[in-house]
């Protein structure tokens, strides 16, 4: 049996706004789950319903086999880390870490043991006497995480915990949180709008849009087998390129060029005759020049960005825009015309109406 089970969860706020629709998810013990999606998609609302900070309008939330919809946050044995850290400014790091246990009436010597062990995991041993104002953002966030893990609860909830940190600290804390998760084994739900955090930290990612789950899967599954254009465009940086067009006689028009789509659509080509489809390919999937088993496209180079390990090339094909990721030694000149190849097995096709992926020959 799953450890956490959310079945047909809905959230309708008192003003009538339906923020979360029929949310279904089973989470195994020890999993690191990331809810990701653009602002307003309902990820914090869902997390807060799991935490017991927000009423569940309908549906069932089970921890093990126990329905906990009506239980308060403390009875659910969950610990939450907020974006704002929520540290007590007038207390030392030691007291911030231990305060929750003090409130529970835990013995002082047990508290000391757990504070020291937690501080060790988080690299805070040398800072126990400091006040929060004398800590860096990353150190404060570590104290906030420490306050949650010291409670040794089964479920660990984090709402955008890294959003107040600068880019470098975010990368460091990202791997620290992943390591802490490995050490504690606590089941974790982590909310972010940052797809890189989702990809690097999650066992499984839940992609949300406007209150609906779009897809649940491992980072690998979401990247290589997105179910629709939204997921395909959300996961990956720079995002997947999309070109819309209407199939004519099995040919897909890209400005004045025509691509014979049958190597990808196979025997479904006829089914999509005269229908609008979207041709998708990732910037990193292309090769310069004319390669075998690929679509060949001519394009104009608008702009290039040298990033060191690779380079982004911004191109136009008539009115269409796309980004290609190329080897930094092969950056084409601005304003030059190039030909590039998109291997058949790296192309994604989407239904232009539903925006759902069309299963292709690559499976």
Binding site for ligand ATP (CB under 6 A): 13, 15, 17, 19, 37, 39-45, 193
Q: In Å, what is the CA distance from 108 to each residue of 63, 78, 101, 127, 243?
A: 31, 23, 9, 19, 64
- Sign of the dihedral defined by the CA atoms of residues 116, 121, 127, 132, in that order: negative
Residue 5's nearest CA partner among 46, 90, 64 is: 64
Nearest residue to the partner ligand ATP, using Cβ: 44
Q: How far is the CB of 6 from ligand ATP (least distance, A)?
A: 15
Smallest separation (angstroms) from ligand ATP to the CB of 21: 11
Nearest CB to ligand ATP, comparing residues 35 and 350: 35
CB of 146 to ligand ATP, least distance (A): 24
Our CB check for ligand ATP shows the closer of 233 and 352 to be: 233
**Which residue, 54 or 351, has its beta carbon nearer to ligand ATP?**
54
Least Cβ distance, residue 198 to ligand ATP (angstroms): 13
Choice between 12 and 288, CB closer to ligand ATP: 12
Q: Are 63 and 189 in contact (CB under 8 A)?
A: no
| Shortest Å distance, C-beta 164 to ligand ATP | 14
Nearer to ligand ATP, 96 or 192 (CB): 192
Provide, rounded to whole angstroms, the least separation between the CB of residue 206 and ligand ATP.
11
Q: 83 or 257, CB closer to ligand ATP?
A: 83
């Amino acid at each position: 049996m799953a450890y956490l089970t959310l079945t047909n969860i809905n959230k309708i706020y008192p003003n009538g706004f339906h923020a979360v629709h029929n949310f279904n998810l089973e989470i195994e013990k020890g999993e690191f789950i990331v809810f990701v999606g653009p602002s307003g998609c309902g990820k914090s609302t869902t997390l807060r319903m799991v935490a017991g900070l927000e009423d569940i309008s309908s549906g069932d939330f089970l921890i093990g086999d126990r329905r906990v919809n009506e239980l308060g946050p403390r009875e659910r044995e969950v610990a939450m880390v907020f974006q704002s850290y929520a540290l007590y400014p007038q207390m030392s790091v030691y007291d911030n870490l231990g305060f929750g246990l003090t409130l529970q009436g835990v013995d002082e010597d047990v508290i000391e043991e757990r504070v020291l062990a937690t501080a060790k995991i988080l690299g805070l041993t040398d800072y126990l006497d400091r006040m929060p104002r004398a800590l860096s953002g990353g150190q404060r966030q570590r104290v906030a995480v420490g306050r949650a893990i010291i409670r040794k609860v089964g479920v660990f909830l984090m709402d955008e915990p890294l959003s107040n940190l600068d880019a470098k600290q975010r990368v460091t804390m990202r791997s620290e949180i992943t390591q802490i998760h490995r050490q504690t084994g606590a089941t974790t739900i982590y909310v972010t709008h940052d797809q890189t955090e989702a990809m690097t930290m999650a066992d499984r990612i839940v992609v949300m849009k406007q209150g609906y789950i779009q897809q649940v899967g491992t980072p690998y599954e979401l990247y290589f087998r997105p179910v629709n254009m939204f997921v395909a465009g959300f996961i990956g940086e720079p995002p997947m390129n999309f070109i819309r067009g209407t199939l004519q006689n099995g040919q897909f028009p890209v400005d004045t060029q025509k691509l014979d789509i049958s190597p990808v659509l196979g025997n479904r080509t006829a089914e999509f005759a005269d229908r609008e489809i979207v041709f998708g390919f990732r910037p990193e999937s292309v090769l310069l020049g004319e390669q075998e088993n690929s679509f060949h496209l001519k394009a104009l180079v608008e702009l290039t960005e040298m990033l060191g390990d690779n380079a982004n090339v911004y191109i136009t094909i008539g009115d269409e825009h796309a980004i290609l990721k190329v080897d930094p030694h092969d950056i084409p000149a601005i304003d030059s015309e190039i030909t590039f190849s998109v291997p058949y097995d790296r192309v994604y096709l989407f239904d232009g109406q539903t925006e759902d992926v069309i299963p292709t020959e690559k499976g």
